[in-house]
Each structure stands twice: as structure tokens, then as C-alpha cells.
A and B are shown apart, each in its own frame.
Chain A
């Protein structure tokens, strides 16, 4: 157990370092690289006076490392500066949208994770059968389709033809939980299609891998029911790769929401990011990019730690 703690501590330290470097890159990328942000943003027609005033506002006249320190301190305190487009504080814009994005990701995970595990087990149980091949072809196509293709097909079927769901996922602050759930169902179904494909394939591969071991043969010889072998004997031992792929896919989900949010005009962080990139609203881009990166790095860390904890081999290994 001591070994695994050291391992986790090392992994955690590496993530902290990555977070630090990522924040530096985002800072440098947005504030230092393009020569002069002020001129770029204001355009060529700007007078020297307006450029100068703008530089003051962004504190561009200070030393880079001083600005980085101040920026990071503000960021940790939840002050992300003001939006260039409408002057409102970025934290105000981001807060509500971040909860919306997380809500969408949460609903998707609740649908996708059990579905992927069940499908993966079934595919492993009926491996090489018609059912297995059908699932394999379907998931392969979902992986190679762009998200917006799946989204528009779902819209065409469920909202245009059948008229069950609205084609736009518009929610506001006063909606009840049920109404919100109904609104995000179609976007989360789209995301489910994408992530389930990855998770299910990994689950199937992991279980089939374990099925080759001697203790499974032993269980078979004892005459235990095959489904029971898969659920009770094979699945627990394939948990480590499965947990890993689930966490990695949730990380992907947080980022993959960008396109789906734009398709369904869902007021999430991804849509805000895309809008701000188009408007070149740099403080908003910085803040939302940083939040996305943090969540992504954290979930990848969680993936590694969980798979370390669920894998007895890793727990014993010498470092």
C-alpha cells in the first residue's frame, strides 16, 4: 500500500506541474506571443491613444512575470477579469455556463457508463456472433462520424419526424429539474453515442483478455453458468482498464461538449468559448480554456489513480 501511495503522490505532483505549465502557456500564448494584443484586438484603425489606454487596462505596460503573478492570483481568487466584448466580469459569464456543461456531462455519464459496460459484457459473452459483429460495426461507425452528423440525424429523427424532443436545448435559470432534463436529453444522447462506442469496445477487449486466464477455465470446468463467469469472475479483474477508459472518456466528454453545445444552442461553457474565439474576447477565452484544461488534466489524473488502486499488480510493484 505504501508503494501505491508514493506512485499516486508522484502522479499528482506531475499533474500539478502540468497545470502550472499549462497556465503559463495560456498566459504567454494570449498575452505575449501575438506581438501586441492591443493592436490586434483594436484593429489597424485604432489611434495610438486608444491603443495606449487599452494597454493600460490590460496592464500590458508591466513586466511579463509580474503580470503572470497578478493574473494567477486573481484567477485563484475567482477574478478572471472583464470581458472585452461587453465589459462584464468573466466569472459572472462563466459560472452558470460551467454548471450547465457539467450537468450535460453528468446526464450523459449516467446514461453512457452503465450502457457501455452492459453492451461490453454482452459483446464479450456473445463474442464472434452476429450480435457482437453488429455492435462492433455500429460502434466503429459512431467513432468515425463527426459529432454534428450524429446530432443532426437525431434531430431529424426525434424532433422533425417524430416531434418528441425540441431541436434546440434552450434552458434558463428558472426551469425545474424535469424540464431541464427533458431539454438536455437529445444533446446527451448524441454524446452518449460517441463515448459509449469507445467505452464499450474497451470493456469488451478487457473482459475477453481476462477470459483467456486459467482461473476462468477452472470456473468453466466447475460448470458455472457462462454469464455468471463474465459478471462475477471476469469483470472484477478487468475493472482497472475499464475504469481508466471511463475516466478518459469523461474527460473527452467535457471537451467534446463544445460541438454538441453549438449544434443545440445549449448555453454551456463550450459555446461561450467558441463565441469568444470568434469575437477574439481574450479574457473569456483564457478563463474558459484554462477551466477546460484543468478539468481535463484532473480527470486524466483520476483515471490513472483509480486504475492504480483497482489493479493489485500495480499496488505491489516496486517503483
Chain B
């Protein structure tokens, strides 16, 4: 099981990395989302994998490590905020620059606009 888990995390990371290396803003955002899944799973697993051991006192014999869970919980919510921020930034850059390139290949700006 651990091997399968680690493989999935590695795969998610690889897919996320590949997408963040694309030249347009939207795939980069999707890539970041994938990466954040991978990171959350990775951090979560630092408490080791355990089934049927929710950290609710009295619910089972032994418990899963609650600390990584608490950390990952806030990480998920903040990850959402960050994804949203990057996304809106992407939209804003399209609105202001007129394209969604992030590879530095900007078309020459119109004369009345200053280069950003």
C-alpha cells in the first residue's frame, strides 16, 4: 500500500511539474492545483498511513497521527486561496496585457500602452 501511495504522489508531482512548465497561464494554474494535491498528500503521509483510526477519542483502539492532519487541513484552505489568487492574477494579466502568455513571448505592446 505504501508503495502505491508513494507512486501516486510521485505521479501527481510529475504531472503538476509538467503543467507548470507550459507557456500559458491556465495550464500553469491547473499544474499548481495538481502540485498542491501532491504536497498535501505528501505532508499528510508524514503521520504514516493508517486505516480505521480517526483521531477522535473513544472511536477506536489506536489513532492516526492528528498533527499532520491539522496542518494539512489549513494547508488545503490556504492552497485554495493561493490557487484563486494565481488564477485571478492570470485573468488580470490577460485583461491588462491582452494575452495569456507566461513564457515571456509578449507581442509588441500598442503604442499608447506602457510596457508592464
- The answer to whether A binds B is no
